Amino acid sequence: MSTLDLDALADLVPRPDEEARERARERQRALVKPPGSLGRLEDLSLWLAAVQGACPTRPLTRPRAVVFAGDHGVAELGVSAYPPQTTAALLRATLDGGTAAAVLARETGVTVRLVDVAVADPLADVPADVTRHKVRQGSGRIDVADALTGPEAEQAFRVGMTVADEEVDSGADLLVLGYLGVGGSTPAAVLAGALLGLDAATVTGRGSGVDDNRWMRKCATVRDALRRARRVVSDPLRLLATSGGADFAAMAGFLVQAAVRRTPVLLDGLAPAVSALVAQRIAYGAVDWWLAGQLSPEPAHAKALDRLGLEPLLAYRIGLGQGAGALLAVPLLRAAAVLLAEMATYEEAGVPPGSPWPRG
């Protein structure tokens, strides 16, 4: 029997500070520029003021990317362009700093934490901090069996909560949520289809770049898994156990707890977005603490973001995962924060507010 009270957890999610948002709006009107001339950066500054509870906004000095890693039984069906053991190899390469996400993290000044919750490899050769929250080695084949047991789903959800607490307690002021796992776009498509009421062909994408034959095989797998998912769609933890995996459950727990801790989260690709859909079912107000960093090529991604009411900051069609696309959006948030805080007002600049503005 579950000891996790999701209703009580949802009650702990606060609303962002609307007074700070209004002060930021008033300050935007006073800055030495035509109204609205900084476009969406102005909207981002209002959001940051609300989630920080501060105006002027504070600079983002401690952004942290957290990448949850896991393997999935459906990968053995050939639904990915890569073999299942690639997950462990990519995790090691990220630790060594050689993956795109690791390079982009260095370039954007973001530190990266890898959390193995369900990689099939025991990863005995990696730092213990990576594997200390491991729930199991791989998740079940969701077209014919559950991904997890009920207790494992709760354990994984609590892992996500714990990791969020650890990051906030260590001083993170922005969290970037990424995902690493071969075959992960298949359970992501299943969760999206179940939660959005869509069929397999609509939510199934090319993932790692599969050809037509593999895509059709993937569609059939998603179709079969959707039949099982739809029976439990009203129960978030049971849905994660049936059709997600330890990685998805951990991401959902991470997202809810980050909101409880008043810490903003930047979502990367499809897997974080569908985990957010599950988390929103648990705590509707948590979505106010999240932003979509980017839009991937996966067809279910745009649909999930639309349901969440989140407009992606970037649309470079980055489908790599691992937080890579969202990392590119971190400089935009940093810019929004410092512009609101450091730009001069009309009064400070000695410019009359009604003066004609040079056209440029």
Residues in the chain: 360
Q: Which residue in the list 28, 257, 280, 322 is annotated as catalytic? A: 322
d(CA 274, CA 191): 7
CB 203 within 8 A of CB 94: no
Sign of the C-alpha dihedral, residues 60, 61, 67, 68?
negative
Name the DSSP class of 74: G
CB 348 within 8 A of CB 341: no
CA distances in angstroms from 315 to 225, 241, 328, listed in the order given: 29, 31, 11
Return the SS3 of 308.
helix
- Name the token pair of 130: 């990576």
Residue type, 244: G
- Residue position matching structure tokens 């102005």: 42
Phi, psi for residue 143 in degrees, rounded to 5: -80, -20
d(CA 277, CA 284): 9
d(CA 123, CA 11): 38
Name 237's bridge partners. none
Active site (annotated) includes residue 155: no
d(CA 310, CA 93): 31
| Residues catalogued as catalytic | 322
